[in-house]
Chains A and B, each alone.
Chain A
């Protein structure tokens, strides 16, 4: 029990299957096909900066929509009895267990031309193209990741002691004030992990845009495409994505710590 040796197989494993692959990404990103140092891959990668920004934009919008939808829901769930909460959480998790491609495929069927939604809308005289645009991609993302926002917020809210809320009310706080001074500050850690859990996969996902977005790809799709022919440029894009995501995580962590101190 006091020995470090049991971890040695895994330490070796990490070296081979985590550290070395990442070093290889860095190596490929900074070399050309002859193995010489080169920054040319990043010049190539900059061709995709628009796609990159578009991905961050989709991730931002999807995260915000998830937050707005999830927050009130998580709050009202957290005020139910414990056994009811457990059942609700279970039902929130069921769709998460379905394969993600099948869930996106469901939206392809729903949004397609002459599909159910299109038929209903054209019955009311609305002739809209529902698929093949940013809106469809955002709907797919929100559908995919909404539970990832609800569950962490619910987790912290269910731990808020009712007596804290009652104390605030006894001390003369109005409903809005109780929310601003008690509930919201205490729920910030849940919001932060929810934002992280939605933003990161949304920004880096691939295929959702191919299924729902028509010709506008996201950065994950680009990485996959580019990797088929050019490992060097592909690595450069992957490296940039990784750095941006890690930066985002560090920022969210800092923000969370600061909130925990001042809030």
Chain B
């Protein structure tokens, strides 16, 4: 009896989480703009792909996400190693400041960067756009890289590094052959978190993009703000499919890795 009620409750929550998305996707195939079903169509998908603005935004989003995640992974990994060598009080002070973008409400981070970029823009004669968005994204991604890499450094046996040195590696060789290998899982998850956060960021981009630079989340805002736009439904459907595929792949990969480790 208890089991049954648990299952029903689980079903209700899952329905709550998924029905809105399914509804959104179903109406991407509706030949009509209202909630009345007028027959099957793919015209919203056609409209989506032939919309040059949306395609440009998609391109911008990917470029920013790739650059921001690569740069913050390098910056953050280097930072995590260096910060680890500071002593107690200084180290935790640095870590606290580093965590500010994670703890602070996004909107506060957004407006504070907008103040900086407007001020610097007036001083140095530039306008907000691609570069400022990229800088902002690196800013909120790097702390996540540090958070993911630091535990790996703590777990690492420093004698492995010393052994590599004793066996004739230069410090740089030892770093690339030994240390990087040990830190890799942390670096990788830091990179993936950075990539997805950058891809999905709306609030901070909104305040640092200036007037012309568009990313996909900004485009979604323009499409859906105070109106109904079936192109947004079509976009949701595509995103949903991509997310599901990626998750299944990543789950399969990690399940296989676990099986291999168990062997």
Contact = CB atoms under 8 A, between A and B. Distances in A.
A177 interface: no
Contacts of A73: 9-10, 13
Contact of B82 (A7, A76, A110, A224): A7
Main secondary structure of the interface of B (DSSP, over half): helix
A106 B13 contact: no
Interface string A65-109: 000010011001100000000110011111101111111011111
B247 A223 contact: no
Given A116-B35, A227-B114, A18 B97 contact: yes
B115 A21 contact: yes
B86 interface: yes
Given A98-B240, A100-B202, A101-B224, A242 B116 contact: no
Given A14-B98, A93-B247, A99-B202, A204 B115 contact: no
Given A10-B76, A95-B17, A109-B24, A235 B111 contact: yes
A9 B78 CA distance: 9
A101 B80 CA distance: 33
B85 A223 contact: no
Contact of B232 (A18, A105, A201): A105
Interface residues of B, number: 80
Contacts of B113: 17, 21
B107 A103 contact: no
Interface string A227-252: 10001001100100110011001000
A5 B78 CA distance: 9
A86 B253 CA distance: 13
A9 B79 contact: yes
B83 A7 contact: yes
A235 B118 CA distance: 14
B188 interface: no
A245 B106 CA distance: 12
Q: Give the size range of A's interface with the partner.
A: 35 or more
Contacts of B86: 4, 7
10 contacts: A7-B85, A16-B116, A25-B115, A102-B220, A106-B236, A206-B107, A224-B107, A227-B111, A234-B111, A241-B105
Interface of A: 1-11, 13-14, 16-22, 24-25, 28, 69, 72-73, 76-77, 86-87, 90-95, 97-103, 105-110, 112, 114-116, 119, 143, 146-147, 200-201, 203-207, 210-211, 220, 223-224, 227, 231, 234-235, 238, 241-242, 245-246, 249
Interface of B: 6, 9-10, 13-14, 16-18, 20-21, 23-24, 27, 34-35, 75-76, 78-83, 85-86, 94, 97-98, 100-101, 103-109, 111-116, 118-119, 135-136, 138-139, 142, 146, 158, 161, 171, 174-175, 179, 196, 200, 202-203, 206-207, 216-217, 220-221, 224-226, 228, 232, 235-236, 239-240, 243-244, 247, 251
Given A8-B82, A22-B112, A106-B23, 12 more contacts: A3-B82, A6-B81, A14-B98, A16-B116, A17-B138, A25-B108, A98-B239, A100-B202, A114-B35, A143-B16, A210-B226, A220-B107
